[in-house]
Structure 1
Amino acid sequence: MKLIYQQMIGMLTTIIVSLLVVAALFIHATTAAAWENNFRQLSNYTSNLEQNALLNKSTINGDFIQTSERVLSGQHVNFVIYNANNQMRYPAVAGGRIQSKYWRQLKRGDSVAVKAATTNPRNGRTQSITIFYRPVFYSGKLLYVIAAYEPVEAIQSTISKTKRSVLIGFIISAAVALILSYIIARYTNRRIDRLRTATHEVAQGNYDVKLETTGRDEISELASDFSNMTDSLKASEKEIQRQEDRRRQFMADAAHEMRTPLTTINGLLEGLAYDAIPEESKAKSIELMQNETKRLIRIVNENLDYEKIRTNQIILQRQTFNAKHDIDNVALQLHQKAVDAGDEISVDVPDDLMVYADHDRFVQIIFNIMQNAIQFTQNGHIRVTGQHGYQQAEFSISDDGIGMSPDQVQNIWERYYKADPSRKNTKYGESGLGLAIVHQLVAQHGGTIDVQSELGAGTTFHITFPDEQTPDDDQSHDQTA
């Protein structure tokens, strides 16, 4: 069964059950009110007779009773008066007696209301009437019993009209409920259909589907969650495509990086094998093959090193040492490369700046970033600064070289990514792995590294290394928190 019909049946069932309960309660209340009103009227009539028709202990004003019956003839109300011996005194005809069960109540001083098929005390015929008995006492003794009776046809007619009106109202309400339930169910079903259509679109690979989320009900929340899901899927698809592009680029770059030294070595070996290389150049050729072999080994080792760092397979031997000394050594090692590029290196690090890190990996991080700055800066200035921040050592390495665009900044941590593809073969053997390794090493130290760069205006790397945490530091941090 379709959802729209399920919703309609559910709503109609609820509405119809509610209407039936209300109708039953209304009919019951109306019927009870009709009977109560009837007995109240009969009680008032008997009270009036008690005051005006009973003149004394032995005299009954029959004229007043007859006048009252004529006035109430439209309601078919009649009166009967019984004496203390349960004998009819008015009208002066032989008539029935009050049933013993009612007579006992009357003798106790209780008024009695009866509605049933009973014997008419005036004519002795059995018919449906309502009777109200009122006992009249004098000096504590039962003197008379005044009975007022009325046929139930008028009351039943009123009750029947009420039931008929309720039935008509029920039918109209059910019809209106049917129409409204269809409209509401159709509206809800259309919203679900739009969601289903959007799901089919997503299944076909279309992640640009948008749904209205203006409401505050569960379907609107589901539509909002669906929109968030499509946005995530769209972002994931872009990321998957980017990673696939990077994978292809990585395979191409890796093959290129390895093919270049292999091609050089193969060409030199062929030249040596066929004596195509002059004797005086053989030593140079062998040296070149050794350099290319070392370069190839370095590329392989860097790839292995990167994977070990990325998968946390290396163990850092962290210790606290003086950062100034090692940074000066790195600057000294790169001095000649900087001179060849026309660059100047300046180090502004406090003599007592201590850093908690793996010594060799710290040197590797600083070396790679400074070397990268030299490679992309000509006739410029490389600045290395350091300071001790809050529970961490902070370093900045900046240059005024060619800089990078935002897209280049986003991808510099990828393996084999090179901000300047034209510099794939420099005399420094750039492989595109240095910054990827640096990023992983800093992360494994629990530190941070970020880069700020502007195309044509230079680049600045900011690196932090957290201090060693002692038990006292942990307690102090907890108290501060």
Structure 2
Amino acid sequence: MKNRRINYFYQLMGSHLSILLISFLILSLLFVRFVQDFAYEDKVQELESYGQQILTELEGPRPAANLEQYVSILQAQNINFIVFDQQSRILYPISEAFPPVALTREEWHVIERGETLVVNRDVERFEDTVTFVALPYVADNRLAGGVLLASPVSGTSEMISELNRTLLTAMLAALLIALLLSYLLSKLHVSRLQRMRKATAMVSEGNYDVKLPESGRDEFGDLARDFNNMTTKLHKSNEEIERLENRRRQFMADVSHEMRTPLTAIAGVIEGLRTNMIEEEQRERGMNLVSEETKRLMRLVNENLDYEKIRSNQVTLLKETVETQELLEIIKEQMDFQAAEKGNVIHITAEPRQQVHVDMDRMIQVLTNIVKNSIQFTENGEIRLSAYTEAGYSVIRVEDTGSGIDVEEIDLIWRRFFKSDVSRGSGQFGLGLSIVKQLVELHGGDIEVESEKGKGTAFTIRFPVEQ
């Protein structure tokens, strides 16, 4: 059988009311019992007080005359008394209105011990339900009998009944007020839960902009703050995922575009060679084109592998102390031929015995990429490689007199596959400068670029001087 669902609202109402009812019931019973005991005790003390006075009068010279004054006084207060002997015979007053004393054996034992007998409610031995006390009467150092005083409990019962009615009225009024407060509080809590439930449903549907009010200074407020922190983090994570996805799409598009050109050239040459559409004297040139485009593809693949290794911290630097002049001469020797093909000259300027603490192979990769870009955008100009020290840094600077970079493009050149403006020719930065920036930062250095359109570009690399 399927369990029936009980709303949280009714659970709260039930718990509040059950606690209130049980508390009221226990307090009411305790209070009524306390008042009842107090009323009977007060009546007993009153009877004992009159009894002591009567015993005092019995010891006087004229007991009967002395007791006469008490009869009217006590009757006015609805109190009757008798003096009895050891055989339970009434000695005073002689009246048929008061029945003979019929004390039990246990009650007589109390009087014989010289103690006061107290009975709060007696419903059998008197015409009405009464409270009575019996005090022992001692004459000539022996028990002569006792004095019994009785008072109907009707006045006490009426007082207790009135108290019960007042208490019941107060309890009903308090219960109604408590019911109203419980309803309002339960409504408040349930509405806050429902708001959280709706917000959770929106998050499950992918809406991470939802926020809950954090005004409550209780567990609901803490939960709302935790929920808002969660949605903020989810929102940031979702944005990061979207950025990564966009970058992945852009990367696939860029890689596809970059590979399409060399693959198209290679396929065209191979097809021409296969069908003998390329003349004999052009075949050598076609083979050279295939070789260059193949190298270009290999370089593209290697650069992508390098880039991903650097981004995932899979590159280990083998640092050593290197003379900067030696490093720049290696770069010049490697790049002189490419520079000469475009009519460029490479110059070197380095401080004597200046050193940098770097990974030699990676630093050659960094400088080679920068110089290649300088050669690419410079014709019949100069490329200057310089090294010097400034304010705790070893500085390597590569300057050219090429076409320069537009101001709005300077911050974009570090992106993968960024292509320069068409007006600058067919040049492109590819992955080279992205790898350059990552490797420089991996060494703990920084790189910046300065450029002016038509006047050239300067790359400045700074490494902290090793102590």
TM range (shorter): 0.7 to 0.9
d(CA) in 2 for partners of 1:367 and 1:54?
A: 134
1:103 maps to amino acid: W
Letter in 2 for 1:105: V
Q: Secondary structure at the residue paired with 2:430? A: coil
* Separation in structure 1 between the aligned mates of residue 174 and residue 409 of structure 2, nearest angstrom: 67
Counterpart Cα distance in 1 of 2:320 and 2:314: 22
CA positional deviation for 1:296: 1.3
Residue in 2 aligned with 1:227? 228
**SS of 1:61's equivalent?**
helix
Superposition pairs of residues 13-412 of structure 1, within 5 angstroms: 13-52=18-57, 54-56=59-61, 61-72=66-77, 76-83=78-85, 86-93=88-95, 95-120=100-125, 125=126, 127-137=128-138, 140-269=141-270, 279=281, 283-308=284-309, 316=316, 318=318, 320-322=320-322, 324=324, 327-329=327-329, 332=332, 333=334, 351=353, 353=355, 355=357, 358-365=359-366, 367-368=368-369, 402=405, 408=411, 412=414
Residues 312 and 380 of structure 1: is their aligned pair in 2 closer, same or farther, counting only changes over 3 Å?
Answer: closer
- Give how far 1:253 is off: 0.7
**How big is the shift at 1:181?**
0.9
Structure 2 equivalent of residue 10 of structure 1? 15
C-alpha RMSD over aligned residues: 4.4
Q: Across the two proteins, how many residue pairs are aligned to each other?
A: 448
The two structures have a TM-score, normalised by structure 2, of 0.77
Q: Which amino acid aligns with 2:324?
A: K
1:430/1:114 Cα in 2 relative to 1: closer, same or farther (>3 Å)?
A: same
CA 1:99–1:461: 2 relative to 1, 3 Å:
farther
Q: Which residue identity is paired with 1:258?
A: M
Answer yes or no: is the 8 Å Cα contact 2:370–2:398 preserved in 1: no
Whole-Å Cα distance in 2 between the matches of residues 140 and 459 of structure 1? Answer: 132
Match of 1:89, SS?
Answer: strand
- Distance in 1, matches of 2:369 and 2:302, equals 15
Distance 2:465 2:28 in 1: 77
CA apart distance, 1:202: 2.6
CA contact 2:410–2:449 (8 Å) conserved in 1 = no
- Where does residue 418 of structure 1 map in the other structure? 418
Unaligned runs of 5+ residues in structure 2 are 1-5
Alignment deviations for residues 232-253 of structure 1 (CA, whole Å, 9 cap, x no partner):
2222222222222111111111
Measure, in 1, the Cα distance between the counterparts of 2:212 and 2:277.
Answer: 75
Percentage identity across paired residues of the two chains:
29
Shift in Å at residue 435 of structure 1? 2.1
Deviations 1:370-416 (A, max 9, x none): 76688799999877667998xxx98787989748779957x946xx3
> Equivalents in 1 of 2:266, 2:104: separation in Å?
134
Query: Is 1:432 matched up with 2:397?
Result: no
Letter of the aligned partner of 2:91 in structure 1?
R
Gaps of 5+ in 1: 469-481
Give the deviation of 1:186 after TM superposition.
0.6
Q: Is the 8 A contact 1:368 1:438 kept in 2?
A: no
- Relative to 1, partners in 2 of residues 1:30 and 1:58: Cα closer, same or farther, differing over 3 Å? closer
By how many angstroms is 1:130 displaced? 0.6
Q: Distance in 2 between matches of 1:375 and 1:196?
A: 61
Compared CA separation, residues 422 and 217, structure 1 to 2 (3 A): farther
Equivalent residue of 2:143, what SS? strand
Q: Which AA in structure 2 matches 1:435? A: S
Q: 1:196 to 1:376 in 2, by over 3 A?
A: farther
Greater mean deviation of Cα atoms: 54-63 or 24-33: 54-63
3-state SS of paired residue (2:206) = coil
TM-score where L is the length of structure 1 = 0.75
- Per-residue Cα deviation, 1:238-280 (whole angstroms, up to 9, x for no partner): 222222211111111101111122233344556666565693x
Deviations, residues 87-144 of structure 1 (Å, cap 9, x unaligned): 3221224722433322222222222210233554xxxx45421112223445643355
Q: 1:466 to 1:188 in 2, by over 3 A?
A: farther
CA shift at 1:464, angstroms? 6.8
Contact persistence 1:207–1:233 (CA under 8 A): yes
Residues 123 and 129 in structure 2, CA contact (< 8 A), matched pair in contact too: yes
> Which region of structure 1 is more displaced relative to structure 2, 244-253 or 82-91?
82-91
